[in-house]
A and B are shown apart, each in its own frame.
Chain A
């Protein structure tokens, strides 16, 4: 094992209770970081914390689980405050909280003409407003120390053309790109690097719930490896919207081509 690259750095991961977020928590912990897992489901938060304890050599008090909602400004303020109380700083934010569908009764997978406003609101509030709120919450601590690493998780549906029946999701993820680019420009002079990760299909609970006919998907662990790479990159560079996608020898039927920027 090589030297851990993030020894004692403090990382917050929203959406850390499953999928890419959970894999990111484990990968950051393996690099020695102290990790704050933010999610809505306490059992799954605990599972992530237990996974990190199993996979890293860190002391048990290196991890903190917080049951908070990225859609609520006061929750995100609490996230920053409790992190500072526990660990004294915030070095890294991985903003991974996101949904592709609303709660089942409000399903967001619908033609625009049939899309309930409540489903639209739920997706935009979680994916876009939630991204704004969690980013904003960590900025004062990062600005004060003149450094910070933010990785916002977008989607290949946030950079190329929109996808039919996923209007709210596409709108939210395009919004994430705009928000992140604006923030990157604002925060750069404070030594805060804002990068956006653009995953294509990833084998997560979110993908499974979407019931799409996608047969090839990346592992969350591979995506997490790229997140760690972005966070640990030398400070003179930035990766602009890296799009990580499954590679298959067989073309995938029914899947939109994600090339063609």
Chain B
């Protein structure tokens, strides 16, 4: 992977695929990796949003990038995404998988007892099945290259369940399990699989919550993008495991489960971890 430490260009000539690259953490990551010299493949469900990121990249004069409108939950979309990336740039060195949702349509957090099967399927489909499909799509290229760097975005909700966010938490726990299994499988090919668990981040994801907005202390997405850049530029012999990044001002996070007397409004409701 990398090794040279120059002030800029730690990812020069590398090709990075970023899903969910049209907004939030994904968009910040596209910009951050491109500033390190990476050629970025911006993947988003909404081609217009991918285009928006491309525009910002070119405004900064960053390396050439490719925008792809694709749904991570659709097998053919992910296969085509990897193929187009290889056709254009010849290789895939990095996958940052950011695509994720709290719920499919804007609405209030729901109890499990009232959750429609459709909502469950949507969240698991995008967050968990999408992680599988996006990862699977890029791995053959990384195996051929005998190296690669995958960062999957989970959440503090991937380490602890929160009331009224059962589908989201289940999907993000699933991302942890999937990533750990994959890491063991592909390590022999020199492919790293790392996971980032962000707490509250100020992204459009919150708009999927009808009644809850981002807390005032939510982190700018650039903070998470900086961490991702650090992960993909670590020396070849080091990895960071399941790292959690959260606002300094956030209340206690019950990472080991169970009741905590200090727990507050903050994590009591769906989606408030993002």
Known A2-B7, A222-B238, A260-B180; further 19 A-B contacts with Cβ < 8 A: A188-B249, A193-B248, A226-B240, A234-B223, A237-B219, A238-B245, A238-B250, A239-B244, A239-B245, A243-B243, A244-B239, A245-B238, A245-B240, A245-B241, A247-B236, A248-B237, A259-B241, A259-B242, A261-B159
B211 adjacent to chain A (CB < 8 Å): no
A-B contact pairs, 13 of them (CB 8 A): A181-B252, A222-B238, A226-B240, A236-B247, A236-B249, A237-B247, A239-B227, A240-B244, A240-B246, A240-B255, A243-B242, A247-B239, A259-B183
A216 adjacent to chain B (CB < 8 Å): yes
Contact B242 A247 (CB under 8 A): no
B187 adjacent to chain A (CB < 8 Å): yes
Contact B248 A236 (CB under 8 A): yes
A240 contacts across to B, CB distance below 8 A: 243-246, 253, 255
Residues in A lying within 8 Å of B, measured CB to CB: 2, 181, 185, 188, 193, 216, 218-219, 222, 226, 229, 234-251, 258-261
CB-based nearest B residue for A244: B240
A238 contacts across to B, CB distance below 8 A: 245-248, 250
Minimum CB–CB distance from B244 to chain A (whole Å) comes to: 4
CA distance A259 to B241 in the complex (A): 8
CA distance A188 to B252 in the complex (A): 11
B106 contacts across to A, CB distance below 8 A: none
**Chain B contact residues: helix, strand, loop or mixed:** mixed
Minimum CB–CB distance from B202 to chain A (whole Å) comes to: 11
From A229, A239, A247, contact of B238 by CB (8 A): A247
A258 contacts across to B, CB distance below 8 A: 241
B140 adjacent to chain A (CB < 8 Å): no
A2 contacts across to B, CB distance below 8 A: 7
Residues in B lying within 8 Å of A, measured CB to CB: 7, 159, 180, 183-184, 187-190, 192, 217, 219-220, 223, 227, 230, 234-250, 252-253, 255, 262
A218 contacts across to B, CB distance below 8 A: 237-238
* Residues A249 and B187 in contact in the complex (CB < 8 Å), given A222-B238, A259-B180: yes
CA distance A235 to B250 in the complex (A): 12
Minimum CB–CB distance from A46 to chain B (whole Å) comes to: 29
A249 contacts across to B, CB distance below 8 A: 187-190
Minimum CB–CB distance from B185 to chain A (whole Å) comes to: 11
From B183, B245, B253, contact of A237 by CB (8 A): B245
Contact B238 A246 (CB under 8 A): yes
A239 contacts across to B, CB distance below 8 A: 227, 243-245
Contact A237 B187 (CB under 8 A): no
* Residues A251 and B187 in contact in the complex (CB < 8 Å), given A216-B237, A244-B238, A245-B239: yes
CA distance A238 to B156 in the complex (A): 13
CA distance A193 to B242 in the complex (A): 20
Minimum CB–CB distance from B195 to chain A (whole Å) comes to: 10
CB-based nearest A residue for B253: A240
A250 contacts across to B, CB distance below 8 A: 188
CA distance A240 to B242 in the complex (A): 10
CA distance A236 to B216 in the complex (A): 11
Minimum CB–CB distance from B238 to chain A (whole Å) comes to: 5
A246 contacts across to B, CB distance below 8 A: 237-239
B188 contacts across to A, CB distance below 8 A: 249-251
A234 contacts across to B, CB distance below 8 A: 223
